[in-house]
Amino acid sequence: MSAQIPAVRSTEQLREKWMKPEVISGSEILLRSLLLEGVECVFGYPGGAVLYIYDALYGFTDFHHLLTRHEQGAIHAADGYARASGKVGVCIATSGPGATNTVTGIATAYMDSVPLVVITGNVVSSLIGTDAFQEADITGITMPITKHSYLVRSVEELPRIIHEAFHIANTGRKGPVLIDIPKDVSANKALFEPVQSVNLRGYHPTVVPNRLQLDKLAAAIQEAERPVILAGGGVVYSGGHEALLEFVNRTEIPITTTLLGLGGFPSGHELWMGMPGMHGTYTANQSIQQADLLISIGARFDDRVTGRLDGFAPHAKIAHIDIDPAEIGKNIATDIPIVGDVKTVLEMLNPLVGRAAKADAWRANVQESKAKYPFRYKDSDTVLKPQWVIEHLNETTRGEAIVTTDVGQHQMWTAQYYKFNQPRSWITSGGLGTMGFGFPSAIGAQMAHPDRLVISINGDGGMQMCAQELAICAINNIPVKIVVINNQVLGMVRQWQELIYDNRYSHIDLAGSPDFVKLADAYGVKGLRATNKEEAKQAWKEAMETPGPVLVEFVVEKGENVYPMVPQGSTIDQMLMGDDES
């Protein structure tokens, strides 16, 4: 792709060029500080309050800046970059509406513990609080959805703030940090002296767990007859996937991975039971409900996993491993709390554990259930089924692509039918459920991994929320393969209205959506359409063989539902298995 990320300079080169003390503007301090934090790519959209920053970016080539077509596209792209790379994502927006356009993306990252540094401009310091043109109290607006935020008062404190922001975003439970820079601060000059240390009073995340708690868990594993592991996104974010695999192989405990935990454990492993929760597997849900020991690793017991809280894992002793002590005991009472970094905890725990010797009958029961209750759907030779489309994508890519999704039925079908074996290969909005996230996050993932296949799977609703970012794919030749699962309806809302609201279909018809092939063509992106299996196979083959971005619209069955489904207010073993099954 032509928008290649510049090669990262060596530490010595950076020190030589950027670390010598020099009197420069706040904007130049910002750029140098970002480089010293290892930033390779920034996503942004200019405006009046950040013009000094963008003036400093003129002719700047030491990291790549990608001009998106909307601030929401910028922050979702930064989010996708962070999830795919494990690095801190960075975006820039101007004051007022530019800053407020990032709010949904900040909340998305906050809910899913994604490290971002969001840089916004503000009006000059003397006008703050006067309702000046394009003024908004973005630090106040985002206080509940940021890990921390800064309003920069002077140019002298800018190097310290930037260094602290990256440290906070990428340590402990990761999350977004906002830096609001008034226009005069970005213009004023000061002696730039890089900050290399951090001393934040009261901020010392616990990484190393209490050894006594590890011993308790090891003992509980030896006594358990029906143990289950519930692994979440914390496994991926901590880089603990290899330690988790070792833990499972040592203990031989059946494992289920949450929506955000997909890819944190290989889907082909015989002890993997699939995803739990509202649209999870029969085996995962039933096993949790029957377990006598449930070990949660980097998962926060979200309501879409637990179902009705008072009926969740009713027979189990609960062990909860998490970097955030606030999560332990928040939703589910915990018997063995273990606070620490998931990777560190598992590496310390592994030498202490052995095979769960009392669980042989349990393991056999799990294998029998997996064979008896796989995901299933009614295939068709006349209409295109969305589940078949996802299966075809999985088969043709051998499960090796980075896949991003928007939110809705297509998201759940992808989670069910695409088989992830590598961490950071699955990017989706879990906690907030943000429509419009899927496509721009794929752009960020592609910028993080220029040489990997990135597939963005979207519904016809969410695709229209950030479709303008087709422009930057075309201009920069960013080779994302864009899939639109078009059922001409807000599918998940339709499903709920069918099953829960007695077929009262209220305001869900998307039949007036644009011709997605023509829309892609208007932006300079190749567009293809398929309405049956043969067309689908040919269109996807052409997309895979075409350099650069391609949009493929799959016109699918309008009335297809996602099964299994746990109705809201039910326990997770009370599952609707399908149209013709109880």
Shared domain for 167 and 231, answered yes or no, is: no
Amino acid letter at 120? T
Q: Are 425 and 397 in contact (CB under 8 A)?
A: no
Residue 199 lies inside a defined structural domain of this protein: no
pLDDT of 579 strictly over 70 = no
Shared domain for 346 and 258, answered yes or no, is: yes
Compute the average pLDDT of residues 70-97: 98
Shared domain for 170 and 228, answered yes or no, is: no
Compute the average pLDDT of residues 505-532: 96
Shared domain for 319 and 443, answered yes or no, is: no
User: Lowest mean pLDDT: which of 20-24, 48-52, 390-394, 548-552?
Assistant: 20-24
Domain CATH for 59: 3.40.50.970
* Whole-number pLDDT of residue 9: 52
| Distance of alpha carbon 517 from alpha carbon 429, whole angstroms | 26
| Distance of alpha carbon 66 from alpha carbon 444, whole angstroms | 10
* Whole-number pLDDT of residue 3: 45
Shared domain for 106 and 55, answered yes or no, is: yes
> What element of type H or E holds 1?
none
Q: What pTM does this model have?
A: 0.96
Give residue 11's pLDDT band: very low, low, confident or very high (50, 70, 90): low
Q: Which of 183, 317, 343, 526 is catalytic?
A: 183
CB-count exposure of residue 144 (10 Å: 0-12, 13-18, 19+): exposed
pLDDT of 58 strictly over 70 = yes
Give residue 114's pLDDT band: very low, low, confident or very high (50, 70, 90): very high
Q: Which of 28, 40, 71, 560 is catalytic?
A: 71
pLDDT of 581 strictly over 50 = no
Helix (H, G, I), strand (E, B) or coil at 151: strand
Compute the average pLDDT of residues 270-274: 98
CB-count exposure of residue 448 (10 Å: 0-12, 13-18, 19+): buried
| Annotated catalytic residue 133 | yes
pLDDT of 434 strictly over 70 = yes
Boundary-marking domain end, from 161, 192, 223: 192
How many domains, in total, are found in the chain?
3
| Annotated catalytic residue 134 | yes
Boundary-marking domain end, from 159, 192, 225: 192
Residue 307 lies inside a defined structural domain of this protein: yes
Residue 567 lies inside a defined structural domain of this protein: no
Question: Which domain range does residue 326 map to?
Answer: 211-373
Contacts of 67 (CB under 8 A, 6+ apart): 44, 45, 46, 472
Give residue 198's pLDDT band: very low, low, confident or very high (50, 70, 90): very high
* Whole-number pLDDT of residue 520: 98
* Whole-number pLDDT of residue 20: 79
Shared domain for 27 and 172, answered yes or no, is: yes
Domain CATH for 336: 3.40.50.1220
Shared domain for 360 and 453, answered yes or no, is: no
Residue 563 lies inside a defined structural domain of this protein: no
Residue 581 lies inside a defined structural domain of this protein: no
Shared domain for 92 and 228, answered yes or no, is: no
Beta-sheet strands, E only, within 15-154? 22-25, 41-45, 64-67, 89-93, 116-122, 148-151
| Pairing relationship of beta strands 22-25 and 189-192 according to DSSP bridges | antiparallel
| Annotated catalytic residue 375 | no
pLDDT of 255 strictly over 80 = yes
Q: What average pLDDT is seen over the chain? A: 95
Shared domain for 228 and 340, answered yes or no, is: yes
Residue 138 lies inside a defined structural domain of this protein: yes
Residue 174 lies inside a defined structural domain of this protein: yes
pLDDT of 192 strictly over 70 = yes
Contacts of 114 (CB under 8 A, 6+ apart): 79, 82, 83, 89, 108, 174, 175, 176
Shared domain for 166 and 252, answered yes or no, is: no
* Whole-number pLDDT of residue 161: 97
Give residue 15's pLDDT band: very low, low, confident or very high (50, 70, 90): low
Q: Which of 275, 492, 565, 575 is catalytic?
A: 492
Boundary-marking domain end, from 373, 398, 429: 373
* Whole-number pLDDT of residue 578: 85
Q: Which of 19, 22, 60, 134 is catalytic?
A: 134
* Whole-number pLDDT of residue 2: 42
Residue 183 lies inside a defined structural domain of this protein: yes
Shared domain for 17 and 138, answered yes or no, is: yes
Shared domain for 357 and 434, answered yes or no, is: no
| Annotated catalytic residue 1 | no
pLDDT of 400 strictly over 60 = yes
